[in-house]
A = this chain, B = another copy of it.
Amino acid sequence: MSRLYIVGIGPGERAQMTPKAVEAINSSEVLCGYPVYLKLIEDLIREQKVVATPMRQEKKRCEIALREAVAGHVTAMVCSGDPGVYGMASLIFEMRESLGAGQVEIQVIAGITAANSAAAELGAPLNHDYAVISLSDLLTPWEVIEKRLALAAEADFVIALYNPSSRKRAGYLKRACEIILRYRDEGTLCGYVRNIARDGQETNILTLGELQNETVDMFTTVIIGSSNTRQLDGWMVTPRGYVL
């Protein structure tokens, strides 16, 4: 029996990865992950055994990691952003017992998740109450996503959207905007960041009306402002409420 780290590497650049994450990767004998994420840490790979499984094979990836740990190998499951935000952490906890890995010591190592790293590039859009919603309906019924979008908009949360689009879900961002527009003004300030802290980073600040017709890809994080969010000299800012 041994140890399994579930490691968040943050947005992508090494400067935004914590020493705790680096240390876990350095002290592991086996590294598991999605190929794109393992590529981001390739300079940390020395003698570790590397097991990469493609997208849609998350269960397989977690099974391999748990089996390696059960076999006595210190293992790290490498995730982008924070492993506890739409990452592999929950799945590992769920699969642990059935794989006879109840004795494996598990440690989750937080990373900076895309909502927060995107926010820093845009200014301070999450500086008041916010909601984080994934538009992927691979694992969540679309009706649930729609209900959450509507209630989050009604509550006037700033809303960070993960997985806003993919080839099979090209129209989802538009549908999400339409739902939010039932409660929010067309002029509501929005922003998005593509390839956060990676080569080719792009940021854009626009209105909700404009976002509705924007095409974004799966490497993009979208932030929809609350009714208080405003543009200040090119930055997207949600005031905390101080009287100036």
Contacts and interface: CB of A to CB of B under 8 A. Distances in A.
A183 B56 CA distance: 34
A15 B15 contact: no
Interface in A154-213: 154-157
In the complex this chain forms, how many copies of it are found?
Answer: 2
Q: Name, among A116, A128, A144, the residue most crowded by chain B CB atoms within 10 Å (CB to CB).
A: A116
Interface residues of A, number: 73
B93 A120 contact: no
A182 to B, nearest CB: 14
A90 B124 contact: yes
A154 B85 CA distance: 21
A239 B58 CA distance: 13
A48 B240 CA distance: 28
A134 B109 CA distance: 24
A147 B155 contact: yes
B140 A86 contact: no
6 contacts: A15-B18, A15-B23, A18-B18, A84-B119, A112-B112, A140-B241
Interface of A: 10, 13-20, 23, 58-59, 82-87, 89-91, 93-98, 102, 106, 108-113, 116-117, 119-121, 123-134, 139-140, 144, 147-148, 151-152, 154-157, 232-233, 235, 237-242, 244
